[in-house]
Amino acid sequence: MSHLSDLKATLAQITHLQEVSQILSWDQQTYMPPGGAEGRSEQMSTISRITHELSTSSDLGRLIDGAEKEVSALEPTSLDAQIVRMVRYDFDLSTKLPTNFVAEVVKTTSMAEHVWMEARRENDFSKFAPWLQKNVDLAKRTVEYYGYDDLPYDALLNLYEPKMKTRDVRVLFDQVRPVVVRLVKAIQERQGSIDGSVLLRSFDESGQEAFSKEVVKTFGYDFNRGRLDRTTHPFATSFGKNDCRITTRYDKNLVQMALMGTMHESGHAMYEQNVGDDLVGTTLAGGCSNSLHESQSRLWENLVGRSKEFWQYFFPKFYAQFPEQLADVDLATLYRAFNQVTPSLIRVEADEVTYNLHIILRFELEQDLLDGKLTVADAPDAWNQKMTDYLGVTPTTDAEGVLQDIHWAMGGMGYFPTYSLGNFVSCQLFEKALEANKDLPIEIASGNFSSLFSWLKENVWTDGRRNFPLEQIRKATGRPLETSPYIKYLTNKFTEIYSLPPI
């Protein structure tokens, strides 16, 4: 198997370059002094050029051709067959865009990001509009280069959720939207029944850090192969499975930000810390797709971290860390505070219930922009109308509306749906884990996360990127991607918390 072993040697080089690039980026966002910015951007661009050359070279193409013949007799589920299949997929995708077009995209989007920042600061959509138009045009050309069988949006979605189809996602979102809109309306009629003000009291940052670390360590995040630092925008990053780091941000008057953020990122990091050893250096030792990755962060943040059982165990520890702030607070009040629902204008501040409505809105507008059903000039009004229809709140400025996210400036159309798909997947996986072990809630309430950890490791994490997302979901749950576990979870949980009539 000479082609296959040469192919693996090249994949190891590509992996190392990708890891080096991640280290540079982590350092830039954590400890690099401001003076290092220019040199760092040159270093990163060199590494990224070499990585791109290596992963699109005709030599690599020939190795893949040869390796395909060598593995053709193997079982399709064998490791080598899966490596070659995924590498072929990556190679075909990354060689579809002409180099000069890629350079044009990088140049245009970096300018567009710059203009977007100004436009948002000055609340001036007209400034950003020509750049949004350029990005929509680039997205259309991207679609043409990649090609599609059914809908143009498929080509963009495919970049983040390989082989998922727009039409299928529409069906899932159409199932979720009416239920959640009804749930939000019902909750709004009970506004005031939850007092979440305890979370706005002053919690010192060192206490927040100590508690957050204790929580994710108890989950199973391995600090021998990870660490927690501070950044403006929290993230998880991996330099190989034995060094997966997370970051968070603190605000002493918003205790849930650092705590929930740390749990969220630990979900991403545990995924990467626990990919199979046999995948190391193959370019498959990472998450299966954006939605699968997001399912892990959401599972630990929401299904675990906002559950009654979690707080049954952690409330005394939280209290021990903050006895003054919590002197007059009981478990039920704290649990409800962490689950307060307030329709708001800003996606990143949205609660568990309203979050997906923000995503559905963006998914619908992106398709309309791409199809030409919506013009850039009409985008702000279309945005505000959907906010009113879905969430019952209307932005009064474009900065709080169409200008709020960076995604359309950075050329990230097709990305948004993966956030919601991640929520659906998290519930589907959790339901299956619960089916395998009915005592899961009792275990969580006693601070024992080992069986949940093991189930996820065995059914998701260890496979890394061996499978495409829909294959992985089916392998783990025996079912296609479904919204019913998500709808059931959300409806049951919030009907109880807000004492709602049946939805």
Minimum Å distance from CB 401 to Zn ion?
23
Site for Zn ion in 257-316 (CB under 5 A): 297
CA proximity to 429, closest of 265, 293, 254, 281: 293
Least distance CB 272 / Zn ion (angstroms): 12
Which of residues 261 and 380 has its CB atom nearest to Zn ion in the complex?
261
- Output 266 or 297, the one with its CB closest to Zn ion: 297
Q: How far is the CB of 432 from Zn ion (least distance, A)?
A: 21
Whether the Cβ atoms of residue 433 and residue 456 lie closer than 8 Å to each other? yes
Strands 228-230, 236-238: parallel, antiparallel or unpaired by DSSP? unpaired
Position 420 contacts Zn ion (CB under 5 A): no
Distance CA 353, CA 34 (A): 39
**Residue with the CB atom nearest Zn ion in the bound state:** 297
Could you tell me if 489 and 427 are in contact, meaning their C-beta atoms sit under 8 angstroms apart?
Answer: yes
Question: How many residues form the binding site for Zn ion (CB under 5 A)?
Answer: 1
Three-class SS state of 335: helix
Tokens of 127: 């400034």
Minimum distance between the CB of residue 418 and Zn ion, rounded to whole angstroms?
10
For 238, phi and psi rounded to 5 degrees? -135, 130
Torsion of CA 445, 446, 451, 452, to 10 degrees: 30
Nearer to Zn ion, 166 or 297 (CB): 297
* Cβ nearer to Zn ion, comparing 290 with 340: 290
Q: Which parts of 155-214 interact with Zn ion (CB under 5 A)? A: none
Q: Which residue, 305 or 401, has its beta carbon nearer to Zn ion?
A: 305
Query: Which region, left, alpha or beta, applies to residue 392 given φ > 0 means left and ψ of -120 to 50 means alpha?
Result: left
Residue 35 C-beta: closest distance to Zn ion, Å: 31
- CB-CB contact of 164 with 424 (8 Å): no
Closest listed residue to residue 266, CA positions, set 233, 227, 232, 312: 227
* Helical spans, DSSP H, in 250-354: 255-273, 290-298, 308-321, 331-337
Of residues 331-370, those binding Zn ion (CB under 5 A) = none
Active site residues: 265
Exposure on the CB side of residue 28, measured as CA atoms within 13 A: 16
Cα separation, 353 vs 325, whole angstroms: 27
Q: Helix, strand, or coil here: 41?
A: helix
Cα–Cα distance measured from residue 161 to residue 158, given in angstroms and rounded to the nearest whole number: 5
Min CB(314)–Zn ion separation in Å: 21
By beta-carbon proximity to Zn ion, the closer residue of 301 and 431 is 301
Residues that bind Zn ion (CB under 5 A): 297
